[in-house]
Chain A
Amino acid sequence: MSGARDSAAPPASAGARIWRMLDERFQLSGLATFLGHKVVPVGSHSMVWYYLGGVSLFFFVVQIGTGILLLMNYQVGENTSYESMKHLVGRVPFGWLIRSIHCWSAHLMSLAVLAHLFSVLFAKAYRKPRELTWYSGFAMLGLVLGFGFSGYLLPWNELSYFATAVGTDSVKSIPLVGPWMLRVLRGGEEVSVQTLYRFFALHVCILPLAIAGLIGLHLLFIQRQGMAEPLEHGPSREPKGKPGGMPFFPNFAMRDLLLWVICLNILALLAVALPFGPGIPGMEWELGAKANPLKPAYPGIKPEWYFLWVYQMLREFPAHLFGMEGPQACLLLATILGGIAFAIPLLDRNAAKGKPSPRFTDLGVAGLLFLGFLTFKAWDVGVHVPHGQDPAGDPALAATIARTAAIWILGIGLAAAALRRLRWGHTSFAFTFAVLLQAALNAFAHLSWLASGGVALVVLAALLILGRIRGGASAAAALLLFALVAPAAARADEKGEGAAPATASAPGHVSEETWPADFRKLFLAAEKNAPVLDEKARARFRALPSHAQELFFSAAKTGSVSSAAHLATLLALDIDDRKVELILGDNCVLCHSNPDLPDEILFKPRGKSDPNAHLDLREIVSDVHFRGGLMCAGCHGGKPADAEMSAEIGKRWPASDVRHKDRSWIPAFCARCHSSSEFMRGYNPSLPVDQLLKYRTSKHGQLLLGKKDSKAAQCVSCHGVHGIRPPDSTNSLVYRENIPGTCGKCHANAAYMKGYTLDDDKTPIPTNQLEQYRKSVHGLALLGKHDSGAPACNGCHGNHAALPPHTEFVSQVCRNCHAANGNLFDGSPHKKAFLAHGWPECETCHGKHDIARPTDEMLRDDPQGLCHACHAKFGQPKCDETARFFYKTITSLRESHDILGKDTDLLAERGFDVDELRFQSSAVSDALRKTRLGIHTFDRSDFIRDSEATSQAEGTLRKANSDVWSEYRFRRNGLVLATALISVFAGLLYLKIRQIDRDSGPPK
């Protein structure tokens, strides 16, 4: 019978057989029974919050999976990190997708972890007996942030490099061990390849091991203790009866699975649609340029979004606070705030007893608003900031940002408060109010963030005391009070910092206590109850190096600096330390700058409009001769150390009444030194000594020395009197960008130039050259783009031997730079024709001072074209045909190149790496440039060869563009297919969940 019964029993399925086999060996039934009894609390609260931990875990698993895949192509190293990422994104099939999913998933994981943390906070799920679950979760949040921070550097691009440099720098603010920790973290003093190695080890080994252990512990706690039931938020509602439970397996687990499928779908959509992130500061991962530690940082570099609040706080702190450096104080505040959050299970004693603790709900909301306000400010909300710019430098923009951020936070905060009051009957809003007050004061009362925080905290303390609160909330308030009132109280200190003189001497300066009495008397002198030396002058003196300070002491002792006003004049000069020493070494300057000697005073700070601007003391001490040791006495006679005016002074040049009328003595006077190679060798051996010889042959020299025309330019006209700088100084009158203006002082002055003619002795010299030059391609390049290769006046006319080039030589001057065009022209049919007509070669088509950027339109076969006008008069029909051919070919090539360029831009907008396309596009640009150059042959054969090369390069670019578009379509279609598959799967999963729910009946 039994055998018959056995044969009647249905055969066990394969799954059941495997389970039985495993159970026999590992005794899994007990575990299955335990998990089978596991339930998720179901009550009036939303179930949504229970899924956040699972979602965080899902994103973490995605991180591990994609991270392992990335490791197969990523090579850590200074010369490989960036390159391997570039290769991965650009060439490896789906490399872009794996990286994009890794990055998106990292951000979504951080978001999910934070949401999970706040959901636990609001549900009071941290309360006894789940304190350790909270602590382990908090530690995991720290590790997740560590993942983000360490992973940021690994592509080794500009953004990651500077963000890491700034981010790691704050570590040094930790007392005692900070500098050591910084070195350990960076693997040296600076962010270098050593940092990269360390961050790589952290990211792929240390942190994964640590977080895996913590996840295990966290899950163990949850399995042992079960999921927490939310504690009622408000005191107004009576706790309800024990909620029902949903079986974890399979009901809740299937829901988890459905949510994960949806998350994966969202992840895929985001990764394909925005492969380099949404472009919000702190959420962008375009590779950009490779890290270059020697390249200056650019403004607008920001850390990832979850660090923005600390980043903004660092900006809100002054340089010094309470004797601490700003970052140190900021780090202290951040640590205290983090410590409060960590210690919440200890502080919230009501929740521990199962009683409502509305103040901690309020504290959680306030925490979110606090972080939100700082993050919004860091995001520069309310203003449009071009990429790579920082609006914080502009007070108006900073005020707009603060105002917009405050409006957002006030709106969100008030809406949240209204919701809490109306939906849950909350009555505790003190923390929320304090945070909103801080935002409002900062934005609308223009108080600093710290001062606003201080005021808000005082108000909060008053509210809490008035409310007679007890327990943990008061402890939290006390901690917050310590953290925020202190900085606020220090605002006075912050303000007074600049005003309060520091009497202690800094290294490298003479201690104030040891200053000689005679100098101290001048330093502290007062008139009409006001100090003669203002704070700026005093600070200037204190900042001087000790040897410069000692020169002042000596001058005060000898009487060279005899009064406080004189001292104030010298210290008011906006000059560097070295020049201070020069002044104090020259008695001429000291006497002639002393306000107490009104008969002697010559030098003082003067404006540019002052008729005696050349006596501006700041200019004099900047003079190349003065700085080289050739001081006043070098030209005027006498000696710098003379205490009195010597009889030698002024004997080296003609008498005053002569020398101003007849300037012809000046070239020879300067040439006393500048024509002597022996003398110049002692100062500047590289400087030519033939200037006077050249000058004599120049137009200017002929007029001044030959015709005694003192209006003609001489040395002083172009180089200045005092304040002569070397020509590579941007302040020099003969600096290349200043030359047009210097020449224009005379040549653009119609009244001054009146009577001067060209070589024909009839045609007046025009005075519109400067105006024309400024609009010309050369002028725009030199003055607009600061292109040092563009010629100024001297580029074509020469310097000391300045002469206008004759018509037949104009092209030779142009060929100094445009040699290729000249060579092509030499073999062209135009060469002979131009010679026959006596036309200057280049100038005929391109002009002289008003040379415009050549355009393709110059080739047009109509009155607007350049060729047409001459050809109509002198040309043959075939010349017109050739011009038309040139025009048609070039415009066609240009238009197709433009279209391809726009195509490439579109691909870049869609997130493709277009470096290779841009490189090919630049090759097309070069080929097109060569084609354009070829028209100077005025012959079809050479031109056709170049235009075909351009056409071929465009073909290559077109093919490359087309390939990328194919890839784009493939991605789009793949996404549609994957989304459809995931949606079908998710839909069926939903039906299965309903089926399971029906099977298991209502919650027990």
Chain B
Amino acid sequence: MGPEPLTRRRWIDVLLGTSFTAWMGAVLYPVLRYLTPLRDGGGSNKATLTDAQKQELSANGFLIARCGTDRVLLLKDKEQKLKALSAKCTHEGCTVQFVPADGIIWCACHNGKFSLDGRVISGPPPRPLASFTVEGDLKGVVSVIKPGGMA
């Protein structure tokens, strides 16, 4: 048997199915766009430390703060200069911590270790930690800026 001939009835069914699909597309498009999160997550690309955060950073030598939707590790290096790196481990996304005794950044989830400039020293992390820009010092205003982001 050959294919069913394209009768008027069949045409209507085909067109109805096609237009239904197109119509569903028109309905679903805004819904899918709505469900897709904003790239910046609605947050800012710049964060300014509060007095309490500055005190914590001074006392502990490091601080994990938020910059928009990013977690940022701020620390004082050997020259007491402020540095900021992404606090998100490049392996599975756990939050890393600064270990002052060893002078390294450590991820407790899978024992990933990073140097203070973010390079991978050992463990499973595949990439170094991303750097953030720090402006100001602890005596005044300290701002953390995401590289490539607009403040």
Query: Which residues of A come within 8 Å of B, CB atoms?
Result: 69, 72, 87, 91-95, 97-98, 261, 264, 974, 977-978, 981-982, 984-985, 988-989, 991-992, 995
B31 at the interface (CB under 8 A from A): yes
Q: Which residue of B lies closest to A94 (CB)?
A: B30
Taking a contact as CB atoms under 8 Å apart, the answer to whether B16 and A92 are in contact is no
Q: In the complex, what residues of A have CB within 8 A of residue B15's CB?
A: 988
Taking a contact as CB atoms under 8 Å apart, the answer to whether B34 and A69 are in contact is yes
Q: Which residues from 1 to 59 on chain B have a C-beta closer than 8 Å to any C-beta of chain A? A: 9, 12-13, 15-16, 19-20, 22-23, 25-27, 30-31, 33-36, 38, 42
Given the interface pairs A72-B35, A991-B12, the reply to whether A87 lies near B42 with Cβ below 8 Å is: yes
Can you give 18 A-B contacts (C-beta < 8 A)?
Answer: A69-B31, A87-B42, A92-B38, A93-B30, A93-B33, A94-B30, A94-B33, A95-B34, A97-B30, A97-B34, A261-B23, A985-B16, A985-B19, A985-B20, A985-B23, A991-B12, A992-B16, A995-B9
Residue from A97, A261, A984 having most chain B Cβ neighbours under 10 A: A984
Taking a contact as CB atoms under 8 Å apart, the answer to whether A995 and B12 are in contact is yes
Q: In the complex, what residues of A have CB within 8 A of residue B35's CB?
A: 69, 72
Pick the 10 closest A-B CB pairs, nearest first: A94-B30, A985-B19, A978-B26, A93-B33, A985-B23, A94-B34, A988-B16, A984-B19, A981-B22, A981-B26
Taking a contact as CB atoms under 8 Å apart, the answer to whether B30 and A988 are in contact is no
Which of A72, A98, A985 is within 8 Å of B30, CB to CB?
A98
Taking a contact as CB atoms under 8 Å apart, the answer to whether B26 and A989 are in contact is no
Residue from B30, B36, B38 having most chain A Cβ neighbours under 10 A: B30
Instruction: Classify the interface of chain B: helix, strand, loop or mixed.
Output: helix
Smallest CB separation, A86 vs chain B (Å): 11
Smallest CB separation, A428 vs chain B (Å): 47
Docked complex Cα distance between A991 and B33 (Å)? 33
Q: In the complex, what residues of A have CB within 8 A of residue B13's CB?
A: 992
Q: Which residue of B lies closest to A87 (CB)?
A: B42
Docked complex Cα distance between A784 and B30 (Å)? 50
Given contacts A91-B38, A93-B36, 4 further A-B contacts (CB under 8 A): A92-B34, A97-B30, A974-B30, A985-B16
Taking a contact as CB atoms under 8 Å apart, the answer to whether B42 and A91 are in contact is yes
Which of A264, A985, A991 is within 8 Å of B22, CB to CB?
A985
Q: In the complex, what residues of A have CB within 8 A of residue B19's CB?
A: 981, 984-985, 988
Smallest CB separation, A272 vs chain B (Å): 10
Q: In the complex, what residues of A have CB within 8 A of residue B34's CB?
A: 69, 92-95, 97-98
Smallest CB separation, B68 vs chain A (Å): 14
Smallest CB separation, A15 vs chain B (Å): 13
Q: In the complex, what residues of A have CB within 8 A of residue B27's CB?
A: 264, 978
Smallest CB separation, B58 vs chain A (Å): 30
Given the interface pairs A93-B36, A988-B15, A992-B16, the reply to whether A982 lies near B30 with Cβ below 8 Å is: no
Q: In the complex, what residues of A have CB within 8 A of residue B16's CB?
A: 985, 988-989, 992
Q: In the complex, what residues of B have CB within 8 A of residue A981's CB?
A: 19, 22-23, 25-26
Docked complex Cα distance between A42 and B33 (Å)? 44
Which of B9, B12, B23, B38 is within 8 Å of A982, CB to CB?
B23
Docked complex Cα distance between A261 and B19 (Å)? 12
Taking a contact as CB atoms under 8 Å apart, the answer to whether B12 and A977 are in contact is no
Q: In the complex, what residues of B have CB within 8 A of residue A984's CB?
A: 19, 22
Docked complex Cα distance between A977 and B25 (Å)? 11
Docked complex Cα distance between A140 and B34 (Å)? 31
Docked complex Cα distance between A72 and B33 (Å)? 13
Taking a contact as CB atoms under 8 Å apart, the answer to whether A982 and B26 are in contact is yes
Q: In the complex, what residues of A have CB within 8 A of residue B36's CB?
A: 93
Docked complex Cα distance between A988 and B16 (Å)? 6
Docked complex Cα distance between A69 and B34 (Å)? 8
Q: In the complex, what residues of A have CB within 8 A of residue B9's CB?
A: 995
Q: In the complex, what residues of B have CB within 8 A of residue A95's CB?
A: 34
Docked complex Cα distance between A92 and B36 (Å)? 9
Q: In the complex, what residues of B have CB within 8 A of residue A977's CB?
A: 26
Smallest CB separation, B146 vs chain A (Å): 18
Q: Which residues from 97 to 145 on chain B have a C-beta closer than 8 Å to any C-beta of chain A? A: none
Q: Which residue of A lies closest to B36 (CB)?
A: A93
Q: In the complex, what residues of B have CB within 8 A of residue A264's CB?
A: 27
Which of A87, A92, A97, A992 is within 8 Å of B12, CB to CB?
A992
Q: Which residue of B lies closest to A84 (CB)?
A: B42
Docked complex Cα distance between A974 and B9 (Å)? 31
Q: In the complex, what residues of B have CB within 8 A of residue A93's CB?
A: 30, 33-34, 36, 38
Smallest CB separation, A985 vs chain B (Å): 4
Q: In the complex, what residues of B have CB within 8 A of residue A261's CB?
A: 23
Smallest CB separation, A744 vs chain B (Å): 53
Docked complex Cα distance between A261 and B27 (Å)? 11
Residue from A264, A978, A995 having most chain B Cβ neighbours under 10 A: A978
Q: In the complex, what residues of B have CB within 8 A of residue A97's CB?
A: 30, 34
Q: In the complex, what residues of B have CB within 8 A of residue A988's CB?
A: 12, 15-16, 19
Q: Which residue of B lies closest to A999 (CB)?
A: B9
